[in-house]
Structure 1
Amino acid sequence: MPYGKAVLEAISSLTPVSYELVDMKCGFETYQQTGSALPEETVNEIKKCKASLFGAAATPSPPPFGYLPPVVEFRNKLDLWANLRPMRSVPLDVVGGRNNVDMIVVRENTECLYAGKERYTQSSTSGKMAVAERVVSEKASKRIARLAFEIAIARSKKRGRPGHVTIVHKANVLRLSEGLFLDCCLDVAKEFPDIYTDHTLLDSFMYKAMAHPVDYDVVVTTNTWGNIISNGMSPMVGGLGMVYGINYGANHIMAEPIHGTPAHLEGKGICNPLAMMRAAAGLADRVSPGLNLLGLFYKAVSEVVQNDKKYLTRDIGGTATTEECAAEVMRHFRAILSQK
C-alpha cells in the first residue's frame, strides 16, 4: 500500500490535481481484532469518498465459516458491478511473457458463484453435501455487456482500428445461467454494429488467447471466469505482480492489485510493487481524466525496463528489492510529471 500511496502523492504534488488520502482498516487481521473483515466504520468512511485504493489482503484457506474477503464485501456494499482488468505487457524477458499484449477483461462483479449463496444439505445416498447457487441475471448481464462494448468503441477510437468484443462463456454445460449471459450479450451486441463480436467457450478461449493474445481486444465474461482468465493469463504480462483491477460502480471506483499476500515471501522485501502502483495510477487516471496519468506511469515503467533491468524485482527478471524497484520507478515517474 505505501507504494500505491507514493504514486498518488507524487501526482498531488506535481500536477494540478490534489488528493486527500484517508487510511481505513479491513482484512483478516481486522477480522481477528473486531470480528468483522470490513467494519461499518470503514464502509461509511469510504462512501464519503469518490474513490478508494485497496491493498492486497490475506484470506485464510479454508476461511472461518461466514467469512467473506473484504474486497468481495466492498463490491456488494458499494455496488461495484464491473471489474476491469487491463492485460498490458511491457518488454520483459520472463518465462511466458509476451510483447504487444493489450487486452482488457471486463468482468461482471456482483453475481455468479461470488454471490455467496451456499448451503449444506444431506443426501440419503451421498451423505453431507455442499450446494452453491450460481446467480446470473438479465439486468447484470446486459449492464456488463453494454460497458464492454462502450470500452471497445473508446479503444477503437484511441487506437485507430476496429473494436472487437469476445464473449467468454460455458453455455455448453451451464445451459441456463451461461446461456442467459450469452443471449444477453448477443442482444446488446446488436446495438453496436460497428464492433466485431464473437463468442467462445472458456477452455477454448484460454488455449487460443495463450497462443495468440494479440488477437483479442475486449473480453467480457461472468464473475468467476473473469477471475480465472485474468489470473491465468497474467504470466503473459509479467505475472500477478504486474496486474491490477478497477472495480467500477455508479458512485464509486475502487482500484486493487489482483494478487493476494504470498505468505512464503512475507518479510523478505522482494515482492513486486508494480501491480499496486499501477492500481494507484489507474485509479488516478479515472478520477482525473484528461491528464493521461496511467499512460505516464506506464512510460516510467517502460523506461526502467529498457534502461536498467537490475531495478526490477526477481519475478520479472531483475535483482532489486521491493523498495529499490519502487524507488526507481517513482524517480522516473516524478521526472515525467515534472515535464508536463
Structure 2
Amino acid sequence: MTGTSAIGSSGLRLGLMRGDGIGQDIVPATREIVDGAMSSVHAQPVEWVELPLGFEAIDSHGTPIPDETLTALEQLPGWILGPHDSASYPSEFRGQLTPGGVIRKKFELFANIRPAAVLSGVKATVPDMDLVIVRENTEGLYADRNMAVGSGEFMPTPDLALAVGVFTRAACERIARTAFALATRRRNHVTIVHKANVLTLTTGLFRDACRTVAADFPHVVVDDEHVDAMAALLVRRGGDFDVVVTENMFGDILSDLAGELAGSLGTAPSINVSDTRVMAQAAHGAAPDIAGKNRANPTAMFLSSAMMLDWLADVRREPVLSAAASRIRNAVNATISSGIATADLGGLASTSEFAEVVYAHTLRR
C-alpha cells in the first residue's frame, strides 16, 4: 500500500507506538490507512514518529515505557497507541502502571471517548445501537489512575487488600462538560451512570456534579441510571441511548459490553483526550493468542485513528483532517458492507487483505 502526497493542510507530526501482540499487525496497517486518507483529500503527508513501547522497549531500553518515548510525546499533538500485554511482562514490571496508564497520567488524558455503533454488514445483538460512552479517565474506582504516586491499592496484611476510590467535583464537572458538548453535536441526550444508592458519597458526587453542569445545556435531555440497571438496559434497548457519561471503572465495563452488543470489540474504537492532546487506542486488548497470525481485526484501530483526526481537525481548525477521517470511516463501511471482513465478523479476510481493501476505498473519488 503506497499513497501519493499532495498539499492542503499544514504539516502534522503524529506518534506511533505499535505495542504488543496484534499491535504489531494493526498499527502499521493503520498508519497506511491514515496516509491513504490524507493523500485522497490533498493533505500533506503525516510525519510519523515511531516510538518504542511494550516488549520491544523492554528489549531495547529495559523498560516498557522509556523516558525517551514520553519526552517525544511531549512534542506531538496526537499519537496512535497499540495494545499492550502488560500481564505477560517480566515480573519486575507487572506491578507497575501499564504503559497506557503512564501516558494517560502524564498527559492528563482525562476523557476516554468510546463510541458503540453498528456498522453496515455487521450482525449485532442490538441492531440500532449508536451511542458514545464518555468515561472519566483520571480517578474514580480504578486505583491505578487516582494517585499522583502509587497505585491506590495496598495490603495491610497478606489476607487483607484495600483500594482507594477518588472523586473530585472538578474532575466530575470536567468530564460532564465533555459529554454535554458532545451531545449537542449528536441527539441532545445525556445519561449519567452511577451507583449512588450504595456509593452515596462518591458516585453521588459524580451524579450531582453532572447535574450541575447540565444546567448550562438546557436543550439537552438528561436522565440517570444505576450502573447495574444500565447494563441490562444496554442489552434490552441500547438504541435508546445517545451519550453516556460515567466514572472510570463503570465506563470501562459498559463500553466493552456496548462494543460487543454492537457487533464485536474488534470494531470498538476510542480516543483518550486532554484539552491539548489526543491518543487513539482501540478498546480491545493485545490478543496474544492470534498475535503474528495475520488474523486480527484492525477495524477498531482504523476507526480510532479517524476519531483522532476529527479531534485534531477541531483543535487545529483544519477541516481537511476531518475530511480524511470521513474517508477512513466510509472506507471501512464500504469494505464490510461488500462482505469482506475478518474472522470475528464471520468473514475470511486476513488482517492484511482487509487492510488492502480499506486502503483502496480511501483512494476512491
Counterpart amino acid of residue 83 in structure 1 = N
Q: What residue is the counterpart of 1:117 in the other structure?
A: 152
Shift of 1:35: 4.0
Deviations 1:23-44 (A, max 9, x none): 0011244246534321111011
Shift of 1:131: 1.1
Q: What residue is the counterpart of 1:87 in the other structure?
A: 116
Deviations 1:2-51 (A, max 9, x none): 11101221133232333211000112442465343211110110110111
TM-score (norm 1): 0.90
Give matches, 1:258-277, under 5 Å.
258-277=283-302
Alignment partner of 1:319: what SS?
A: coil
Counterpart amino acid of residue 71 in structure 1 = G
Is residue 142–residue 185 contact of structure 1 (8 Å, CA) maintained in 2?
yes
Q: Aligned to 2:52, which of 25, 29, 35?
A: 25
In the alignment, does 2:44 pair up with 1:9? Answer: no
Alignment partner of 1:149: what SS?
A: helix
Is residue 30–residue 301 contact of structure 2 (8 Å, CA) maintained in 1?
yes
In the alignment, does 2:177 pair up with 1:140? Answer: no
Matches of 2:327 and 2:238, distance apart in 1: 24
Is residue 91–residue 99 contact of structure 1 (8 Å, CA) maintained in 2?
no
CA spacing shift, 1:325–1:97, aligned 2, 3 Å:
farther
Is residue 259–residue 265 contact of structure 2 (8 Å, CA) maintained in 1?
yes
Is residue 27–residue 58 contact of structure 1 (8 Å, CA) maintained in 2?
yes
In the alignment, does 2:133 pair up with 1:98? Answer: no
Shift of 1:107: 0.5
Give matches, 1:1-340, under 5 Å.
1-18=27-44, 19-31=46-58, 33-60=60-87, 64=93, 66-94=95-123, 96-112=124-140, 113=142, 114-115=145-146, 116-122=151-157, 128-156=159-187, 163-289=188-314, 290=319, 291-307=322-338, 309=339, 311-335=340-364, 339=365
Counterpart amino acid of residue 133 in structure 2 = V
Counterpart amino acid of residue 43 in structure 2 = V
Deviations 1:264-318 (A, max 9, x none): 21222111011111112221222235333333322222222222x1x20011121
Matches of 1:334 and 1:213, distance apart in 2: 34
Shift of 1:93: 4.5
Matches of 1:168 and 1:85, distance apart in 2: 15
Matches of 2:266 and 2:341, distance apart in 1: 11
Matches of 1:73 and 1:139, distance apart in 2: 21
Matches of 1:145 and 1:65, distance apart in 2: 33
Is residue 92–residue 317 contact of structure 1 (8 Å, CA) maintained in 2?
no
CA spacing shift, 1:93–1:87, aligned 2, 3 Å:
closer
Structure 1 runs of 4+ with >6 Å offset: none
Alignment partner of 1:166: what SS?
A: strand
Is residue 196–residue 203 contact of structure 2 (8 Å, CA) maintained in 1?
yes
The RMSD of aligned alpha carbons is 1.8
Matches of 1:304 and 1:201, distance apart in 2: 38
Q: Which moved more, 1:22-31 or 1:105-114?
A: 22-31
Counterpart amino acid of residue 46 in structure 1 = L
The answer for unaligned runs of 5 or more in structure 2 is 1-26
Alignment partner of 2:294: what SS?
A: coil
Shift of 1:128: 2.5
- The number of residue pairs the alignment matches comes to 323
Is residue 165–residue 195 contact of structure 1 (8 Å, CA) maintained in 2?
yes
Matches of 2:57 and 2:195, distance apart in 1: 37
Matches of 2:359 and 2:111, distance apart in 1: 29
Shift of 1:69: 1.2
The answer for unaligned runs of 5 or more in structure 1 is 157-162
Alignment partner of 1:233: what SS?
A: helix
Is residue 86–residue 94 contact of structure 2 (8 Å, CA) maintained in 1?
no
Alignment partner of 1:21: what SS?
A: strand
Q: What residue is the counterpart of 1:159 in the other structure?
A: none
Is residue 282–residue 293 contact of structure 1 (8 Å, CA) maintained in 2?
no
CA spacing shift, 1:171–1:33, aligned 2, 3 Å:
farther
Is residue 103–residue 217 contact of structure 1 (8 Å, CA) maintained in 2?
yes
Alignment partner of 1:275: what SS?
A: helix
Shift of 1:92: 3.3
Percentage identity across paired residues of the two chains? 33
Is residue 4–residue 279 contact of structure 1 (8 Å, CA) maintained in 2?
no
